[in-house]
Structure 1
Amino acid sequence: MASNTRGAAVSNVGRVRSNNQDSGYAGHDLFLVADGMGGHAGGDVASAIATNHIKKVDHEYDDPEVAREALKAALLEANAALADTVYDHPELTGMGTTVSAFIRVGDYVALAHIGDSRIYLWREGELSQISTDHTFVQRLVDTGRITEEEAAVHPRRSVLMRVLGDVDANPDVDSWILETHPGDRWMLCSDGLSGVVKPDLMGRILASPASPKTVADRLLKAALDGGAPDNVTVIVVDIDRGDQPHEPITVGSAAAPISHVTETSRPRAARLPLPSLLLHPNRPAQVPTHFEPQTEDYLGELIEEDERRHRRRRAFWISFAVIAAIVLALIGVVGYRWTQTHYFVGIAPDGNVAIFQGVQQSIGPWHLSHVYRSTDISADDLTDFEQQQLRQTTSPAGLPVAERIVNQLRHGG
């Protein structure tokens, strides 16, 4: 059975944000990333509360199924704590957080996930995304409505379908168990990394034999080099590397005391209702906004908006294709008419000299000339030089010039 786990955690505010709403934890056996939302005064609180609740289950487990149940229960307890906090602090209404986490249990990991932070596995030279984003565009991808490439630039790419917060008393948390092998390298991150750093670059960095801390720092640098419009949090975990496990570390907003709000446990029946959207009201306009639809009607509106967007795109390309076809057809007509103002002398299929209208070129199977007037002059009666001249490409000319050439051939000179 595998025995050692070594991990590292880094978190950075990024190049645009004024505060860090991410939290991360790399413990003895538990590792998690939380990406908060809800404005300047809420996102940091949400991710910190969730992280501080969940990291209480960081201890050894004999059974991965027990660890999975404990981790899922911790996320649900964190969800209740967030709702209670909103009840006591209405100014935090709308705050929420994503959570992606796993607990190492021998040769297995028990995972739990909600939102759009991600869990990756680097194994034997291949990077795999283990978690599935709970976003509107991911639902469109899963149903075949858009491609992964279109999802990356979709205007609704930051619409979250599931988060922890005062939204649902029993949110649907993904939880499962996977086997892990010696030499595996796991990575958890907020979308501040995955939204900026491409998977191929992630893979190259994770492939390094360097320590988890060095690799985490390199991933953070890659996000900062890419502009880092959001907070960036990265956890890198190695299975069976080194002789001793690392000491637990907490990063981001959970690493500092929450001075302006305290957690409570008031009766949840009296909670204040949330607005229909979870927003980052203080985010710069150019940065994608996280928010969560609260009604099926709103989801239906988003789907209809997406359909309208695709209809407009199809209409644009169909119109463009029609206009391009018309332009090409006009160019073809004008060009063909121009060729028909020229004449040349050549040998017709019947072996006689003829005046051709057009030019001696073809476009695919289409010839740009035809016999305009045939003569009774047989090509066999001409000299070899004259026949060669007629078979060679000649410059197009006017009809009078072509008739003069025929007369010269008729009279032998």
Structure 2
Amino acid sequence: MAANKAAALSHVGKIRSNNQDSGYAGRDLFVVADGMGGHAGGDVASAIAVTRIREADREYASPAEAEFALQSALIAANSLLAETVFEHPELTGMGTTVSAMVRVGDQIAFAHIGDSRIYLFRDGELKQVTTDHTFVQRLVDSGRITEEEAMVHPRRSVLMRVLGDVDASPEIDTWTLDTRPGDRWLICSDGLSGVVKHDDMLAALASKEGPKQVADRLLKHSLDAGAPDNVTVVIVDIADTAPGEVLKEPVTVGSAAAPLQFGSEPKPTTRAARLPGLRLHPIRPATGPTHFEPQSEDYLDELIEEDARRVRRRRLTWMIGLILLVVAIVLAIVFGYEWTQSRYYVGMSPSRHVAIYQGVQQGIGPISLSHLYEESDVKVDDLPAYDKQQVEQTINADDLPAAKTIVEQLSDAGRE
């Protein structure tokens, strides 16, 4: 199997006061997380996510197993973020993007949420393999704006999906792709992809230099463009041999490389209301309020419609699940009742005669699961003491002929 050559770096940028990005390059796992939530929480969010997700850096029997493990790790990270906010309410609203990949032989498993990106450089071509979960990407997909317009759109940093304390079951993209020797993979935060031109990224990745030198070159491009946001880059080369470049130990960069530091405040009795599924991920340092304030009516309508579509999808899923559950219960009741009606037993009728009953002796609350099928002319009081007691307590029969045989035997005993 071809070896991995990798490098990871993270830089605070030229304007931000702290680094809210985190990155990880390990044996076969590679991750970039871009936190948000202002100075109080973005670094904490990305650090918690990467710290939890890097536990998935191990061998897997198949790409499908790795894909499932990545998805589980992101969901677990999401739960940790929600628990952290519960214990530290001052962090309410924090969240993070995550783009991660695990190599398994000649395939790679991916998990992605948010607007960090994964690119593949192969045979001189650079291709983005992730889809941004942003408002402007929705506009691009619908044909309302172009990719070039999206780069400068005033709302380009509004995220529709992230890990955080908003959604207990976030929608995470997972899939697998083939890889081969010569492939070069790039994972980066939008501090790089949001300011560096495609051609500059292509030229850097096409270089024959090693992953560390390529990562440094990409960082320089971002710094030359003003680096208004934190920049995190992970480069992974698939090579037959990897002299001098193979990571001897996993590398963690950014916020996750330092101990977590955040204060504690008493829990408030109420929490601020927010639009679910909507996060503002600013590309410039906040000089005023960091909460979301839409200035366009069309823009707000689009956000509301997106949220409504997600609610409708969830309601439809729940409705289908509920219908299937009801159908299963009804079928169980029908088949269960049909089975009870294939059973017979001998007992005493209301007029104290030996009788055959169809069904079973048990009932469901006030509902009886048996009824009088046939009454004989044999009086229970004429039976010997033992037979009388048996009839009063009922006698099970395998089927109707067996029940009639029991009645005939009791009739003979009553005449003796």
Q: Give the alignment's TM-score, normalised by structure 1.
A: 0.66
- In structure 2, C-alpha distance between the alignment counterparts of 1:101 and 1:287, rounded to whole Å: 33
Q: Which amino acid aligns with 2:39?
A: H
Q: Distance in 1 between matches of 2:246 and 2:153?
A: 41
- List per-residue Cα deviations over 1:120-152 (Å, max 9, x = no partner): 000010000000000001011101111112111
2:10–2:21 contact (8 Å) kept in structure 1 = yes
> In the alignment, is residue 242 of structure 1 matched against residue 242 of structure 2?
yes
Q: Determine what percentage of the aligned residue pairs are the same residue.
A: 68
In structure 2, the partner of 1:327 is none
In structure 2, the CA distance between the partners of 1:90 and 1:144, relative to structure 1 (3 Å rule), is: same
Paired residue total: 293
Q: 1:110 to 1:16 in 2, by over 3 A?
A: same
* Separation of aligned partners in 1, 2:112 and 2:151: 21
Aligned residue identity for 2:186: M
Partner of 2:318: none
SS at match of 1:181: coil
Judging changes above 3 Å, is the alpha-carbon distance between structure 1 residues 197 and 278 closer, same or farther for their aligned structure 2 residues?
same
Q: How far 1:259 sits from its partner (Å)?
A: 2.9
TM-aligned CA distance change 1:60 to 1:3, over 3 Å = farther
1:134-180 CA-to-partner distances (Å, cap 9, x unmatched) read 00010111011111121111111111000000010000000000000
- Do the aligned residues in 1 keep the contact of 2:4 with 2:238 (CA within 8 Å)? yes
Q: Alpha-carbon deviations, 1:309-333, whole Å to 9, x = none?
A: xxxxxxxxxxxxxxxxxxxxxxxxx
Partner residue of 1:300?
A: 301
* Gap regions ≥5 residues in structure 2: 306-416
Structure 2 partner of 1:142: 141
Please state if 1:174 is matched with 2:173.
yes
In 2, Cα distance between equivalents of 1:109 and 1:291: 36
**Paired letter, 1:51:** V
- RMSD over aligned CA atoms reads 2.7
Q: Is residue 285 of structure 2 the alignment partner of residue 284 of structure 1?
A: yes
Counterpart in the other structure of 1:164: 163
Rate the CA distance shift 1:285–1:20 in 2: closer, same or farther, 3 A.
closer
Deviations 1:251-306 (A, max 9, x none): 000000003369xxxxxxx995653364569953589979699xxx98525589xx
2: CA distance, partners of 1:227 / 1:53: 32
8 A contact 2:228–2:285 mirrored in 1: no
Q: Which residue type is aligned with residue 143 of structure 2?
A: G
The answer on whether the counterparts of 2:38 and 2:290 sit within 8 Å (CA) in structure 1 is no
Q: Is the 8 A contact 1:112 1:173 kept in 2?
A: yes
Alpha-carbon distance in structure 2 between the residues aligned to 1:121 and 1:281: 26
For 1:218, the equivalent position in structure 2 comes to 217
How far apart in 2 are the matches of 1:16 and 1:76?
Answer: 32
Larger radius of gyration: 1
Asked whether the 8 Å contact 1:10–1:234 carries over to 2, the reply is yes
Counterparts in 2 of 1:283 and 1:274: CA distance versus 1, 3 Å: farther
Superposition map of 1:188-207 within 5 A: 188-207=187-206
- TM-score with structure 2 setting the length: 0.66
The residue that corresponds to 2:337 in the other structure is none
Change in 2 beyond 3 A, CA 1:35/1:165: same
Q: Structure 1 stretches of 5 or more lacking a match?
A: 263-269, 305-413
Q: Distance in 1 between matches of 2:168 and 2:45?
A: 15
1:46 aligns to what? 45
Instruction: Name the CA distance, whole Å, in 2 between partners of 1:303 and 1:199.
Output: 32
